[in-house]
C-alpha cells in the first residue's frame, strides 16, 4: 500500500502522521531479569544509562552502545534482556504467579515466556509452544541465557494445538501484519492480508481458549493496528463463548478498543507509538468465568 493511502487508512484510528513518524525513532528498552538480580541491584551494577518506566523491572536506554545491547556484558550474563515496553505488557497484565500453569502458544523467540518465568520465580509450569521449528532454537537459547528452568517447549501449529492439560493463564501473542513494529510493513500490506490472517488468529485463539480452565485468564495481543487482526478475533470468541468476559485494562497513555465491535471493547487497549513511546500494540484480557 502506498504511504498516503496507508496514512488515510490509519487516520481512522489515530493521528496517522505522528504515529508513523514516531516509529522511526523509538527508544530501546531492557528488562532486568528477576531470576538473576533485582531492579535495585541491576541499577547499581550496570554501566548502561537507563531511565525507569512504570514497570519496576523495565528501563529505557539512553545512548545505547554502538556495538548494540546484545553485545553487552549485561545481556551475556542474562542479567537483562532487550524487549520493547509494549511487548512487556501481556505478561505484566497476565501477572503469572509462582505455582501457575501458563501456556504461551506462540512463544518464540521467548521474550514473554521468560518474562512470565521471572514473575513466577521459576515456580509453576510454562508450556512454550511455537509452530516454527527453526525459531524454537532461539527460544531455547533465551531460556538458558536467562536461567529459566520451569519451562518446556513444544512444536505445534497453534491453530490445531492439542493437549490433555488445562492452564489457568494463557498468552496468545498472535502472528500479525506487524504494522506497529515494522515501519515499512505498510509497503506490502493491504486490508485483504489482515482479513486472511484474521482467520488464523481466530483459530489459534479458539484453541487456546479451549484449554483455559474456568476462572482462568487469557491475554490476546498483536503488534498491529488492523481491527481485523485485533478486535475481530476477540469478538468471535466473545460471540461464541457465553462464559468469556473482556476485563478492563489500565495501561497509561493507551486508547480503548474500537466500540464498533461492542461497548465491552472499551476494556481492551490500543497502543500507539506517539503516545506510548514504544511499538504499536493491541491487548485484550479475556476471563473464562466459572
Grid coordinates representing 94 are 497476565
Is 223 a residue of the active site?
yes
Predicted local distance difference test score (pLDDT) of residue 278: 98
In-domain check, residue 47: no
Strands 269-271 and 255-256: antiparallel
Distance between CA atoms of residues 263 and 221, nearest Å: 19
Cis peptide before 109 (omega within 30 of 0): yes
In-domain check, residue 247: yes
Distance between CA atoms of residues 246 and 231, nearest Å: 11
What is the tally of structural domains in the chain?
Answer: 1
Predicted local distance difference test score (pLDDT) of residue 230: 98
In-domain check, residue 42: no
In-domain check, residue 51: no
Going from the first residue of the chain to its last (290 residues), give the mean pLDDT of each consecutive group of 10, the final group possibly shorter. Answer: 97 98 96 98 98 98 96 98 98 98 98 98 98 95 98 97 97 98 96 97 98 98 98 98 98 97 98 98 97
Q: Domain span at residue 208?
A: 85-288
Beta-strand ranges (E) seen in 133-207 are: 151-154, 167-173
Predicted local distance difference test score (pLDDT) of residue 125: 98
Distance between CA atoms of residues 61 and 150, nearest Å: 29
Does pTM surpass 0.85?
yes
- Write phi, then psi, for 115 (nearest 5 degrees): -65, -40
Would you list the DSSP string of 31-58?
EE-TTT--HHHHHHH--SEEEE-SSTTE
In-domain check, residue 253: yes
What's the count of helices (H) and strands (E) in the chain, helices before strands? 10, 13
In-domain check, residue 252: yes
In-domain check, residue 159: yes
Between the CA atoms of 267, 272, 277 and 279, what dihedral angle is there, to the nearest 10 degrees?
A: 100
Helix (H) or strand (E) holding 235: helix 231-240
In-domain check, residue 45: no
CATH of the domain at 136: 3.40.50.150
Amino acid at each position: 500500500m502506498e504511504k498516503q493511502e496507508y496514512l488515510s487508512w490509519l487516520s481512522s484510528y489515530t493521528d496517522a502522521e505522528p504515529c508513523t513518524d514516531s516509529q522511526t525513532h523509538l527508544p530501546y528498552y531492557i528488562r532486568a531479569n528477576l531470576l538473576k538480580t533485582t531492579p535495585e541491584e541491576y541499577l547499581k551494577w550496570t554501566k548502561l544509562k537507563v531511565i525507569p518506566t512504570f514497570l519496576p523491572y523495565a528501563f529505557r536506554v539512553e545512548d545505547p552502545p554502538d556495538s548494540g545491547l546484545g553485545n553487552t556484558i549485561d545481556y551475556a550474563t542474562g542479567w537483562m534482556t532487550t524487549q520493547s515496553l509494549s511487548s512487556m505488557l501481556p505478561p505484566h497484565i497476565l501477572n503469572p504467579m509462582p505455582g501457575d500453569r501458563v501456556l504461551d502458544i506462540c512463544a518464540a523467540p521467548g521474550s514473554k515466556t521468560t518474562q512470565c518465568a521471572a514473575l513466577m520465580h521459576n515456580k509453576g509450569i510454562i508450556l512454550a509452544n511455537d509452530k516454527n521449528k527453526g525459531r524454537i532454537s532461539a527460544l531455547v537459547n533465551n531460556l538458558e541465557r536467562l536461567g529459566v528452568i520451569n519451562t518446556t517447549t513444544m512444536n505445534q501449529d497453534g491453530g490445531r494445538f492439542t493437549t490433555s492439560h488445562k492452564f489457568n493463564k494463557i498468552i496468545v501473542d498472535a502472528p500479525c501484519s506487524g504494522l506497529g513494529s515494522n515501519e515499512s510493513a505498510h509497503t506490502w500490506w493491504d486490508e485483504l492480508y489482515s482479513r486472511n490472517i484474521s482467520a488464523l488468529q481466530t483459530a489459534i485463539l479458539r484453541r487456546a481458549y479451549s484449554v483455559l480452565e474456568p476462572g482462568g485468564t487469557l491475554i490476546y495481543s498483536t503488534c498491529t493496528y488492523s481491527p481485523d487482526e485485533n478486535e475481530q478475533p476477540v469478538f468471535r470468541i466473545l460471540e461464541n463463548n457465553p462464559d468469556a468476559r473482556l476485563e478492563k485494562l489500565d495501561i497509561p497513555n493507551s486508547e480503548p478498543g474500537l466500540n464498533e465491535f461492542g461497548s465491552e471493547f472499551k476494556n481492551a487497549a490500543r497502543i500507539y507509538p506517539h503516545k506510548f513511546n514504544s511499538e504499536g500494540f493491541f491487548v485484550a484480557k479475556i476471563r473464562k468465568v466459572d
